[in-house]
Structure 1
Amino acid sequence: MIQVRELTLWFNEHEHPTINKLSFDLRSGETMLLLGPSGSGKSTLTCCLNGIYPRELDGEIAGDIHIFGTSIQDTKPGEMSKHVGVVFQDPESQFCMLTVEDEIAFGLENIGTPRDKIATKIDGVLQMVGLTAYKEANIHSLSGGQKQKLALACILALEPDFVILDEPTANLDPLAKQAFIQTMKHIQEDKKIGLIVIEHQLDGWVSFIERAFILSKAGHGVFDGSLTEAITKHADLFQLEGIALPSITELALQACDNNQAAFSKIPFTYEDFTTHMSYLDQTFLETTAKKSCALEPIIEVHNVKLSKKKQKILRDITFSWAGPSFIAVTGANGSGKTSLTRLLAGIEFPSAGNIYVNNRSINQWKQKELRQQIGYVFQNPEHQFITDRVFDEIAYTLRLRAYPEATVQEKVHQTLASCQLQGMENRHPYTLSQGQKRRLSVATMIVDEQNILFLDEPTFGQDAASTRELMHLLAARYKNGTTIIMVTHDMDLVDKYANRVVVLKNGEIVADETPTQLWERPHLSKWNLDYPTRIKLKRHMEGSHVCITK
Structure 2
Amino acid sequence: MMPFLQVNQLHVRYDFSSNRDTLNAVNFELLEGESILLLGPSGCGKSTLTYCLNGLYPRELDGEMQGDVIINGKRTTDYRPGELAQHVGVVFQDPETQFCMLTVEDEVAFGLENIRIPKMKIAKKIDDALELVGLMPFKKATISSLSGGQKQKLALACILALEPKLLILDEPTANLDPMAAMELIETIRSIKVQTGCSLIIIEHQLDGWTELAERCVLLNNDGTIFYDGPLRGAINHKRPLLQKEGIWLPRVANYVLPYHNKTLPIPLTLSAFACQAEQYKPAYWDNNIMPKQTYKQALLVANQIAYSKRKKKIIQNVSINIYHGDFVAIIGSNGSGKTTLSRLLAGIEQPSEGSILLKNKQLASWQEKELRDNIGYVFQNPEHQFITDSVFEEVAYSLRLKELSDEVIKTKTMEMLDNCGLTNLKNHHPFHLSQGQKRRLSVATMLIDNQAMLILDEPTFGQDALSNRELMHLLSERHKTGTTIVMITHDMDLVYEHATRVIVMNQGEIAVNCEPEHLWAKSEKLLQQWQLTLPTPIQLKRCCERRGKNVSTPT
TM-score by length of 2: 0.93
Contact 1:293-1:324 within 8 A present in 2 as well: no
Of 161, 164, 167, the match for 1:157: 161
Contact 1:331-1:527 within 8 A present in 2 as well: yes
Counterpart in the other structure of 2:470 = 469
Counterpart in the other structure of 2:430 = 429
The 1:516–1:39 alpha-carbon spacing in structure 2 relative to 1, beyond 3 Å, is same
Contact 1:397-1:448 within 8 A present in 2 as well: yes
Q: Distance in 2 between matches of 1:144 and 1:224?
A: 33
Counterpart in the other structure of 1:86 = 90
SS of 1:495 mapped into structure 2: helix
Write the mapping of 1:13-412 to structure 2, written as runs, cut at 5 A: 13-14=16-17, 15-132=19-136, 134-140=138-144, 142-253=146-257, 255-256=258-259, 262-265=261-264, 266-273=266-273, 275=275, 280=280, 283-287=283-287, 288-292=289-293, 294-412=295-413
Counterpart in the other structure of 2:10 = 7
SS of 2:537 mapped into structure 1: helix
Counterpart in the other structure of 1:417 = 418
Q: Distance in 2 between matches of 1:412 and 1:146?
A: 40
Counterpart in the other structure of 2:542 = 539
SS of 1:528 mapped into structure 2: coil
Q: How many residues align?
A: 545
Q: Distance in 2 between matches of 1:146 and 1:338?
A: 18
CA deviation profile, 1:102-138 (whole Å, cap 9, x unmatched) = 3222212212234344444444444544555654555
Q: Distance in 2 between matches of 1:231 and 1:354?
A: 52
SS of 2:24 mapped into structure 1: strand
Contact 1:263-1:279 within 8 A present in 2 as well: no
Q: Distance in 1 between matches of 2:8 and 2:62?
A: 21
The 1:397–1:381 alpha-carbon spacing in structure 2 relative to 1, beyond 3 Å, is same
Tell me the CA shift for residue 278 of structure 1.
Answer: 8.0
Q: Structure 1 vs Structure 2: percent identity of aligned residues?
A: 52
Q: Distance in 1 between matches of 2:207 and 2:533?
A: 13
Q: Distance in 2 between matches of 1:293 and 1:547?
A: 32
Contact 2:178-2:531 within 8 A present in 1 as well: yes
Tell me the CA shift for residue 95 of structure 1.
Answer: 2.2
Tell me the CA shift for residue 144 of structure 1.
Answer: 4.3
SS of 2:184 mapped into structure 1: helix
Q: Distance in 2 between matches of 1:230 and 1:325?
A: 39
Q: Distance in 2 between matches of 1:340 and 1:210?
A: 42
Of 530, 533, 542, the match for 2:533: 530
Q: Distance in 2 between matches of 1:38 and 1:156?
A: 28
Q: Distance in 2 between matches of 1:421 and 1:461?
A: 15
Q: Distance in 2 between matches of 1:383 and 1:16?
A: 28
Alignment partner of 1:505 is 2:509: no
Tell me the CA shift for residue 164 of structure 1.
Answer: 0.4
Contact 1:129-1:153 within 8 A present in 2 as well: yes
The 1:121–1:351 alpha-carbon spacing in structure 2 relative to 1, beyond 3 Å, is farther
SS of 1:416 mapped into structure 2: helix
Tell me the CA shift for residue 402 of structure 1.
Answer: 1.9
Q: Distance in 2 between matches of 1:393 and 1:127?
A: 45
The 1:393–1:136 alpha-carbon spacing in structure 2 relative to 1, beyond 3 Å, is farther
The 1:103–1:271 alpha-carbon spacing in structure 2 relative to 1, beyond 3 Å, is closer
TM-score by length of 1: 0.94
Contact 1:214-1:221 within 8 A present in 2 as well: yes
